[in-house]
Each structure stands twice: as structure tokens, then as C-alpha cells.
Structure 1
Amino acid sequence: MSGHLEKFEKSLSEKYSRNVVIVCQDMPNKYVALAVHVAAKGINRELPMEKIVGRIVEACTRAKGHSHWNCITAPRFGFDVSYAEEYMLQFKIDNHSFLLFRTKEKCGNGEED
């Protein structure tokens, strides 16, 4: 693991008083931080996981300006998904695992790939 990633994880863990682990990242750090922020805030408020997932997808849609976002959460899981380059993140907060990605589908409504 690179020193930069370790520092990034440590800063996120300290910020939210949670154990944050970035498992796999193909996304700029500012969007990783956004997803972790939304998830940690929901966990801290003890929101249902369905609501947390919805908020993560909504936040990414607003921040990145396009849809086709998907988020999966479970205690543990494996995956093999096709995603748009620079639009995938797998992370853990304590015992919650998250997979966030944007599909490669053709965009509508004037969205750019």
C-alpha cells in the first residue's frame, strides 16, 4: 500500500472516528472523500443502509453531473463489474463494505461519458 493511500485512509478514519479502508480505487480522492463522508455520516446517524446507499448515489450524481451510479453494500462480497474508467470505488467503514461505480451505459439528457 502506498504511503499516500495510508495517509488518506488515516485522515478519513480520524475525521469520522471510524475505521476506513480503501480496498480498490479508480476515482479521484475528492470523490472518494465525498462517498466516505456520506456513508460515515449515515452510519453515525444509524440510518438504514438503503437510505445511506441512496444518499451516496445522489451525492455522486450531483457532484459528477451524471447518472448511472450504482452502490452495493454488505458485510462482505466479491464482484466483477464493468464500470466507466475513473468511476469505481470499493471501501469499508468498520464492518460495512461498499462498492460504488458508474456503468458505461450511453448517457442521455446531454450527459457526457
Structure 2
Amino acid sequence: MPHRKAEVKTTDLPDDMQQFAVEVAFAAIKTGGDNQEIASFIRNEVLREFPGNWHCIVGSNFGSEVTHGKRGLIFFKLAGHGILLFRTV
């Protein structure tokens, strides 16, 4: 079972959205599947709760440079996965 403690590296999301993202990511990882399936699960759950154009990248080693909407970015590590979730305008 994955460890529930997330290490948030950067974010501008409000606390409730951060908590939701981490909880959804935990559920996705616990369910299993590859990184694509985990990213899809996270994105779909976030879309149900928060409107906008959300994107999710999951992996253990990647770089990124994205433009995102205001209050629309979180990057965190959870159970060996790097998870980048962001909303575009």
C-alpha cells in the first residue's frame, strides 16, 4: 500500500484543492496501473470537482516547463511518483 504522505514541491492551489489532488492521487496509485492510467484517473477526478482544462503528468523522472492558469498548479511526490497537475486557460 502506498504511503499517504505527499511531498509538495510547488503549488499555487488553495489548501482544499491541494488536499483533494493528493487524496485522488493516493487512490489512483492504490488502485494500480501504469503511469498513464494513474494520470488519467487523477485528471478525470479533478475535472469532476473543479472546472477547467486540467492536465496531469505522472512519472519518476521528468522535467517540465508549463504555463498554467492562476491557482492552477501543483507538483508533488507520492509513493515514488512525481505528479504534475495543472490547469490551462
Q: TM-score, normalised by structure 1?
A: 0.69
- Aligned-residue identity in percent: 28
Higher RCO (C-alpha under 8 Å, 6+ residues apart): 2
Amino acid at match of 1:31: M
Return the match for 2:41 from 39, 55, 63.
55
Is the aligned partner of 1:36 residue 2:42? Answer: no
Alignment of 1:2-81 (within 5 A): 17-64=3-50, 66-81=51-66
Structure 1 contact 38–52 (Cα < 8 Å) conserved: no
Q: Which runs of 5+ in 2 are unaligned?
A: none
Q: For residues 75-110 of structure 1, give each alpha carbon's deviation from its aligned partner in whole angstroms, at most 9, with x where no partner exists.
A: 022211100010000000021001000112xxxxxx
- Choose between structure 1 and 2: higher strand proportion: 2
**Secondary structure at the counterpart of residue 69 of structure 1:** strand
Pick the structure with greater CA Rg: 1
Q: Which runs of 5+ in 1 are unaligned?
A: 1-15, 105-113
Shift of 1:42: 1.9
Q: TM-score, normalised by structure 2?
A: 0.85
Partner of 2:85: 100
